Amino acid sequence: MASSSTLLFLLTFLSLGRGQRSNTDDGRSSCSRCDLQLSCNCSHAGFTRVPMVTGQALRLDLSFNSIAVVTDNDLPGHTQLKALNLHGNRLSTIYPSAFDSLWSLEELDLSENLLTALNHTWFRKLGALQQLNLLNNPYSHLGFPPVFQKLVRLRNLALGGPDLKELRRGDLSGVTQLEDLTVKANNLTRYDSGTLADIWPLGHVTLSLHGPFIKNVTLASAMLSDVSYPETPLTLEDLHLNANESVQPFRESARRRIRDISFRNLSASDESVVNLLVVMDGVPISRLYFEDITLTGEGSWEKASWTDHKGIDEFFIRNIVVLDVFKFTSFLQLKFLLNYPRRVSVINSMVYVMPCPSSQLLVNVQYLDVTDNLLTDLTLAESLCEKNETLKELRVLNISGNVLKSLSKLSRLVSKLTKLTHLDISRNGYTSMPSSCPWPSTLRYINISRAKLTTITPCLPKSLEVLDLSNNDLKGFTLPLPALRELHLSGNKFLKLPDGQLFPNLQTLAMQSNAVNMFNQSDLQSYGRLENLQVGQNKFFCSCDFVNFFQSQLKGGGDLTLTDGEDSYICDSPFSLQGEKVGQVHLTLIMCHRVLFVSVSCGCALFVGIVVSVLLWRFHVFWYLKMTLAWLKAKRSSQHRQRRRNDEGCEPLLSFDAFVSYSERDAGWVENFLVPELEEPCEADSGNPPSPQPLTLCLHKRDFLPGQWIVDNIMSAIERSRRTVFVLSENFVQSDWCRYELDFSHFWLFDAGGDAAILILLEPLSKDDVPKRFCKLRKLMSSTTYLEWPQEEERREEFWRSLRNALRGEDK
């Protein structure tokens, strides 16, 4: 069993090793930047060859590398790949069968490469392809046989570039219907009429025809003619219209009743504008779209004022540059253009005022967007005709990104727009709100995001259904708005969700990037009808309550949808959870019941402590400990003294016959009986034996050196005395013996078998009265005979004699 698994491991290891080696032999590196959706982002990685990627990949982005060639072996077995992006490489060679295994491929981007010729064999197996981008490669023609023949599902096609010279009849055969066609043909010199004519339905067409419009009007006309249909929006790029001639191709579009036309990157003179208006006279164009426009003239277009443009419904301009802005005449003569549209947008075009008479021409405008211009409170007053009626049909007004400052002035100006429902005043300089404001009663939507508001007031109308106050400096919201359905408060400084009772109809609440660190069931319950919530990108404190609530109530289910996705809810604290997703955090029991846990463990510790202390006390462990310590200490100081004496080479000096140790309570007996009897024996009656020699006694009261450590004193007293007399009594045993047992247990005194110690029992005392722990004393009592102090007078003589003998025992 074990050996077979080892073998397996070895085999795996070997095969891995071999795989890697062949890898390096082949010179191909691999890319593993694939996400869970099997989308592999290998762009900007410096690859010079197609890297190895998992065979399961669904999308492979290889854009912006340095890949020069795709060989037959580079994409083997990628039968599931749906999208391949090779944009911005150095591709000059693609092997004929390179894409043969990509049966599922739906999107292929080969734009911005160095392909000088296209080969129909690349695409022969790509029956599923829907989008093909071949823009900006240096091929000059599409080639034969027709390259797109097999692409039966193709819906989006982009081709051409600065080098495209020819488009021949049949080049696009096989392409039958498209949603989007882009042809960059700024340098096209040959176009066979009808080349693009067979594609139908045709969704949207973008043509770049700089050169043809200037040099070859016939060619441009033929192309426009082939792609102009009433239902097909047409975008023309890179045109430079400077004369009558250059606008003539539009006659073809006009003839085919084109309805939606856009210009991008256009420069036009007055003459060409006038002629364009003439060419388009009576054509039911409904949408005119201009982006990145340079006007070289003075705006004198009145020569075309007789033309009919009643059909124009939407007029859109973005990024317009008027070269001679100061000579540019007023729009007043443009009544024939301005009376009709319902939607007008003039975005990012340095508009600083729209004179009242001009704005009064916009009689049909319902939607006016002047985003990103230079309107101030003053010029807006002029544009909205402070003292006059204007824009009576207006429903949506977008003044986002101007330099407005006064909300009270704005509200007064718009209050007479009696049909206004939407007002976008975001990205202006509003810093405060007056306490009340007049508004049109129809107003439902206000966007004041990206201003500098710090508080809100009842200035906000009660009729609001959508309110956007994102990216201000708000800290609280206390205004009831009963009709409100959407409230956007992201990017402010809220610490918690506002009270839901203010908004009984709220369905959407966005509060991303605030300072909300948690919220709970009751916060949300106050909202009666909330359906969509966005509170991500706050610094969440991942407490157990919050995490439990989030994981059980919010995550994937319930009536409430987290529209900003569960993944944007990240823990910021506690530190151990920082950076983890709230929805995926696992909290342990200990973390969740910390207080309980701490109290229980403290309780246990306390209990154990008490039990241990009781046990210690019961078994006198402290006493034994103290004893051990003292023993060690005394041992050391005794050794020290011994060494010193040895060094000095002299015998211990014996200056006393006996050291008497007694309890303070027994001092009376010692002083009145013992000392007189032994130190100064009285002259006895003649005939009696001669009086005994006096003995010298050491008494702590009398003979101890003051100022020395008591233990040292006792020790040296014992050392300097031949015998030690213990006067034992109940008192002595209970209170004084301690010290001896503690401090001198090491002493020769106790070990010498009791020769040196003499015990006097002042009162009857049996061994069993001595506490068990005084083992030395008990030992002493059992090994040494002791003298009992007799109560009867006549036996005392006997006692003294025995004591004297004992004291002199050595000399016997």
Q: How far is the CB of 537 from ligand NAG (least distance, A)?
A: 16
242 binds ligand NAG (CB under 6 A): no
Is 227:234 a contact under the CB 8 Å cutoff?
Answer: yes
Residues numbered 5 to 34 that lie near ligand NAG (CB under 6 A) are none
307 binds ligand NAG (CB under 6 A): no
65 binds ligand NAG (CB under 6 A): no
Nearer to ligand NAG, 140 or 553 (CB): 140
513 binds ligand NAG (CB under 6 A): no
369 binds ligand NAG (CB under 6 A): yes
SS3 readout for 53-104: CCCCCCEEECCCCCCCEECCCCCCCCCCCCEEECCCCCCCEECCCCCCCCCC
Q: How far is the CB of 515 from ligand NAG (least distance, A)?
A: 21
Q: Which of 87, 150, 240, 485 binds ligand NAG (CB under 6 A)?
A: 240
In the shown chain, the binding pattern of residues 450 to 469 toward ligand NAG, with x for contact by CB under 6 A and - for none, equals x---------------x-x-
Q: Which of 449, 472, 514, 716 binds ligand NAG (CB under 6 A)?
A: 449
Residue 241: strand pairing partners:
268
Cβ neighbours of residue 408 under 8 Å, at least 6 residues apart? 434, 437, 459
Using CA atoms, how far apart are residues 652 and 545, in angstroms rounded to an integer? 80
Nearer to ligand NAG, 211 or 754 (CB): 211
379 binds ligand NAG (CB under 6 A): no
Nearer to ligand NAG, 275 or 512 (CB): 275
Residue 499 is classified by DSSP as: P
Q: How many residues bind ligand NAG (CB under 6 A)?
A: 25
252 binds ligand NAG (CB under 6 A): no
User: What's the longest Cα–Cα distance across the chain?
Assistant: 175
Q: How far is the CB of 266 from ligand NAG (least distance, A)?
A: 8
Q: Which of 120, 256, 259, 488 binds ligand NAG (CB under 6 A)?
A: 488
Using CA atoms, how far apart are residues 347 and 319, in angstroms rounded to an integer? 6
Nearer to ligand NAG, 58 or 396 (CB): 396
Residue 732 is classified by DSSP as: I
187 binds ligand NAG (CB under 6 A): yes
Token readout for 465 is 């259904």
Q: What are phi and psi of 422, to 5 degrees?
A: -115, 130
Q: Which of 186, 366, 406, 538 binds ligand NAG (CB under 6 A)?
A: 186
Q: How far is the CB of 375 from ligand NAG (least distance, A)?
A: 14
Is 285:250 a contact under the CB 8 Å cutoff?
Answer: no
Cβ neighbours of residue 347 under 8 Å, at least 6 residues apart? 316, 317, 318, 319, 369, 370, 371, 372, 373
398 binds ligand NAG (CB under 6 A): yes
724 binds ligand NAG (CB under 6 A): no
Q: How far is the CB of 504 from ligand NAG (least distance, A)?
A: 20
Using CA atoms, how far apart are residues 553 and 90, in angstroms rounded to an integer? 52
Token readout for 622 is 């402290």
Half-sphere exposure of 149 (CA within 13 A, CB side): 13
Q: Which of 41, 244, 286, 432 binds ligand NAG (CB under 6 A)?
A: 244
Alpha-carbon dihedral sign for residues 107, 112, 113, 116? positive
DSSP state string for 232-276: S-EEEES-EE-STGGGTTHHHHHHTT--EEEEEEEEE-HHHHHHH
Q: Which of 262, 272, 383, 426 binds ligand NAG (CB under 6 A)?
A: 426
Binding range to ligand NAG, per CB under 6 A, among 62-70, 382-390, 395-403, 635-643: 395-403
Residues at the interface with ligand NAG (CB under 6 A): 162, 186-187, 210, 238, 240, 244, 248, 265, 275, 369, 371, 396, 398, 400, 422, 424, 426-427, 447, 449-450, 466, 468, 488
